[in-house]
Amino acid sequence: MFDKVVDFLSRIGLIVGSVFLALMMLITVVDVFMRYVFSAPISGSAEMTQILLTLTVFAGFILVSRDGSHVVVSIFEPVISRFSPNLYRLVYAVSNTVGTAFLLWVLIMAARDSYIYEDVTEGLEIPYFYIISALVLFVAVSLVAGIRVFTSGQMGHDSAD
């Protein structure tokens, strides 16, 4: 049952991330076209692209957490995984979960602060609270999806040997 929920949430993350990526590409293409053909670029297109890129990365974080395929620094990995593969998997899963939980806490505090101080983006004046709240949602789902690594192990990550 848990795996089905994680797969469903991951599929939503994939779809949402894909839509954000498509929007980002569309905005860029239209902006370049408008800039060079009509000398009238889209106002705020760079800001929209930055926001969409951030949302795309965090939507993809759900899939990365589900598979346990984060970028890792393999300094001690070969030694630990040869010495005790189970210890390595446990350290990986715990550090992934703790790191994601910390990121979630930081984003919740940032969302709270942006709500209290009514922070908005510079050009389009989009409230940061909405953007950061979306990131909080994505990281919360990533935390749930990352729990799968405890039961299923890592997917898509091989030892550096």
Predicted structure pTM score: 0.89
Give, rounded to a whole angstrom, the gap between the first and last alpha carbons of the chain: 35
DSSP code, position 155: S
The span from the CA of 13 to the CA of 61, in Å, is 8
What pLDDT shows up at residue 157? 53
Q: Are 145 and 96 in contact (CB under 8 A)?
A: no
Low-confidence ranges of the chain (pLDDT < 50): 159-161
Report yes or no: 148 and 63 within 8 Å, Cβ to Cβ: no
Is residue 148 a contact partner of residue 6, using CB atoms and an 8 Å limit?
Answer: yes
- Residue 159 confidence (pLDDT): 47
Question: For residue range 112-158, what is the model confidence (pLDDT) as tens digits?
Answer: 999 999 999 999 999 999 999 999 999 999 999 988 887 777 665 55
